[in-house]
Amino acid sequence: MDYSQFLAMKQEIGLLIVFLLVFLYDTFMPRSAGKQLPVFASVLMLIFTAACCFCPCLAGSESAFAGMYETSAVIAAIKNILNIGVVIVLIQSVKWANSEEMAPRRGEFYELLLVTLFGMYLMISARHFLLFVIGLESASLPLAAMVALDKNRYESSEAAIKYILTAVFSSAVFMMGLSFVYALSGSLYFQNIYLALTGQHSTMLVLALAFVISGVGFKLSLVPFHLWTADVYQGAPTSVTSYLSVISKGAAAFAFLVILCQAFGAVYANIWEWMLYALIILTITVGNLFAIRQRNMKRFLAFSSVSQAGYIMLGVIAFNAMGLAALMYYILVYIFSNLAAFGVIGAIENATGKVSMDDYRGLSKTNPRLSLCMMLAMFSLAGIPPFAGFFSKFFIFTGAINQGSVAIYVLVLIALINTIISLYYYLLVVKAMYIAEEAPVVETFKSSCGERIGLWITIAGIIGLGIVSCVYNFLLDTTATSAINAYFM
C-alpha cells in the first residue's frame, strides 16, 4: 500500500492535529490551566479554519484508497463551511464550558465534538459505503455522549437515550438498505453502484432506496424521521443543540446529496425524485405546523430546523449544479442565522435559566441588543431581505426551478406558501420581544465576551453574506466546474 495516499486527506489530517493538541492539553496541562481550554480550542480551530479557507493546495481534486476517498474544491468548500460553523459554536460555548458543573467534563466536550466533525468529514468525502458508514457512526455516537453532558439534568440524560436509540435504529435501517444495494449491484463503490443501477427498476431497488433515505433522513430530521428532534434539542445543553442543529445537519445534507447523485443518480427520475418530493412537502409542512405551538425556544427552533431541512432538500431534488451551489450556500447562511438565534438563547439561558418564549416578553426593553440580534436571526430564517436568508431561499428556489418540470413549480409553490407559515411563528418571537406590553421577565444583564463575539460574527454574516455577492458567486463557480456535474443529467 502506498502510504503517501494519506496525504490526500489534508483537511482530515489538520483536524486530527487540532484534536490531538486539544486532547494533549486536556490530559497533561495542570488542572488550573483547564480554564483556558475553551479559548485554546477555539483559537486552534479558528487557525485551522483560516488555513483551510486560504490554502491553495485544497483546490485540486484527489482520490485515495482505490477511490474510497475523494476530495475536490467543492468538498473542501463544504468542509470549510462546517469549520466556520464549529468555530462560532466553540466561541459561543466558552462561558458554558467554563461553568462550575462542566469543569470535570470540559475536555470531553471538545474532544467529542472534534471526533464527530471528523466523522462528518468522512461522510462527505466517502465514495464507498463502508467508509461512509464509519463516518456516519463516528458522527452519530459521540453526539449522544455530548447530548448527555449535563448529566445532572434529567432531561439531558433522557435526550441522550432517545438520541442513541433512534441513531442506532436508523443505522440498522440504513445498513439493511445497503445490503439490498449490494445484492443488486455487487459493489459498495458509489461509482460501481451507479453503473450497475443504470436502467434498473425493481421493487427491491425501491425498498433499498427507501431504507437508505430513511437512514440519512434521521440525521437530517426529515419528517417522518424527525420524532427525536424536539426532545433532544430541548434536553441537550444549548451549545450541543446548536452544534446538532447546524453542523450535523449541514454535513448530512451535503453527504445525502453526494450519495443520491453519485451512487443513485441513475435512478433519479424513476425512484428517488418522487420519494424526496413527498418527503420535502411533509418535512416543510409538518415542521412548520408543529413549530407554531411551541413555547420552549429550543423546541421551537427544533421544529423550525425540521422545516429548514426541507428547504435544504430542495437543493438536492434540483439535481443540478445550481441546486448544489444553492444547497451549500443555504447551509452556510443557515449556520449563521441559526447560531445567532442559539447564541441569544444560550446567553439568556446562561444568565437567567429561562428558555420559554413567554420569558422573552419585553426583552427589547431590558436587553435591546440581544433582542435585535434575535430579530435579525428570525428575519433571516424567515427569508426577509436584505438579510442573507432571503438570498439563500431565493437561490434554492431558483436552483430547484432550473430543473424545469411542472411538478417542481408546484413543489416550490408549496414551499413558498410554507414560508408564510414560518414567517408567522418567527414573528411570534419578534412580537414577544417588541410588541408584548407585559412587564419584562428577563432582567437587564451583560452577556459574556464569548457570547458577544459569537453574536457579532453571526450578525455580520447575516447582513453581509447576502449583500456581498462574492460568496455565492464563488460557490456557484466552484460547483459549475466540479466533477460532480457529470452525474446531473
Partner 1 sequence: MFSNPLIYFVVIPLLMLGALALCANIKQIRAVAVAGSVALMALSTYVLLEYLDMRAAGDNAPMLFVDSWQWFTPLNIHLAVGVDGISIAMLVLSSVIIFAGSFASWQIPQPKAFFLWLILLSTGVFGFFISIDLFTMFMFYEVALIPMYLLIGVWGSGNKNYSAMKLTLMLMGGSAFLMLGLIGIYYHSSADGHLTWNILEIARNGAISSGWQYFLFPMTFVGFGVLGAMFPFHTWSPDGHASAPTAVSMLHAGVLMKLGGYGCFRVAIYLMPQAANELAWIFLILTGVSVVYGAFSACVQTDLKYINAYSSVSHCGLVLFAILMLNTTAMTGAIMQMLSHGLMTALFFALIGMIYGRTHTRDIRLMGGLMKIMPYLAVCYVIAGMASLGLPGLSGFVAEMTIFVGSFQNADMFHRVFTIVACCSIVITAVYILRVVGKLLFGPVQDKHHEELTDATWWERLSTVTLIVSVAAIGCFPNFFANLIKTTFSPEIFTVLGLN
Site residues (CB under 8 A) for partner 1?
A: 325, 379, 384-386, 390, 394-395, 397-398, 401-402, 404, 409, 412-413, 416-417, 419-420, 423-424, 427, 430-431, 434-435, 469, 472-473, 476-477, 480
Q: Which of 258, 252, 105 is nearest to 193 (CA)?
A: 258
201 versus 369: smaller Cβ distance to partner 1: 369
Residue type, 128: H
Nearest to partner 1 of 232, 374 (CB atom): 374
Question: How far apart, in whole angstroms, are the C-alpha atoms of residue 55 and residue 79?
Answer: 13
Query: In the complex with partner 1, which residue's Cβ is closer, 356 or 402?
Result: 402
Closest distance between partner 1 and the C-beta of residue 382, in Å?
Answer: 9
CB of residue 159 to partner 1, shortest distance in Å: 33
Closest separation in Å from C-beta 423 to partner 1: 5
Is the CB of residue 289 less than 8 Å from the CB of residue 421? yes
Cell 434575535 belongs to residue: 374
Q: Please report how close the Cβ of residue 325 comes to partner 1 at its closest, in angstroms.
A: 8
Give min distance, CB of 402 to partner 1, in A: 7
* Between 176 and 421, CB nearer to partner 1: 421
Least separation, in Å, of the C-beta of 391 and partner 1? 8
Of 180 and 397, the one with the shorter C-beta distance to partner 1 is: 397
Phi (first) and psi of residue 126, to 5 degrees = -65, 140
Beta carbon nearer to partner 1, 24 or 420: 420
- Min dist CB 297 to partner 1, Å, is 20
Q: How far apart are the first and last CA of the chain?
A: 36
Query: Could you tell me the smallest distance in angstroms from the CB atom of residue 230 to partner 1?
Result: 24
Three-class SS state of 41: helix
Which residue, 206 or 436, has its beta carbon nearer to partner 1?
A: 436
Contact 385, 333 (CB under 8 A): no
Query: Which pairs count as long-range contacts for 159-168, CB under 8 Å and 24+ apart, including other chains?
Result: 159/231, 159/232, 159/233, 159/234, 159/235, 159/236, 160/232, 160/235, 160/236, 162/228, 162/231, 162/232, 162/235, 163/228, 163/232, 166/218, 166/227, 166/228, 167/140, 167/141, 167/143, 167/218
Nearest-approach distance from CB 417 to partner 1, in angstroms: 6
CB of 58 to partner 1, least distance (A): 21
Taking the C-alpha atoms of residue 186 and residue 172, their distance in angstroms, rounded to an integer, is 20
Instruction: Show contacts of 269-273: CB within 8 Å, 24+ apart.
Output: 269/489, 270/201, 271/201, 271/205, 271/206, 271/209, 272/209, 272/213, 273/317, 273/319
User: Smallest distance from the beta carbon of 357 to partner 1, in angstroms?
Assistant: 15
Nearer to partner 1, 67 or 386 (CB): 386
Of the pair 131, 401, the CB lying nearest partner 1 is at 401
Which one, of 123, 124, 114, 126, lies nearest residue 76 by Cα?
A: 124
Cβ-based nearer residue to partner 1, 132 or 472: 472
Residue with Cβ nearer partner 1 (306 or 475): 475
- Residue 150 CA to residue 298 CA, distance in Å, equals 16
Burial class (CB in 10 A: 0-12, 13-18, 19+), 337: buried
Residue 294 backbone dihedrals phi, psi, to 5 degrees? -80, 140
Four-CA torsion 317, 318, 322, 328, nearest 10 degrees: -20
Three-class SS of residue 71? Answer: strand
Cell numbers given for 106: 470540559
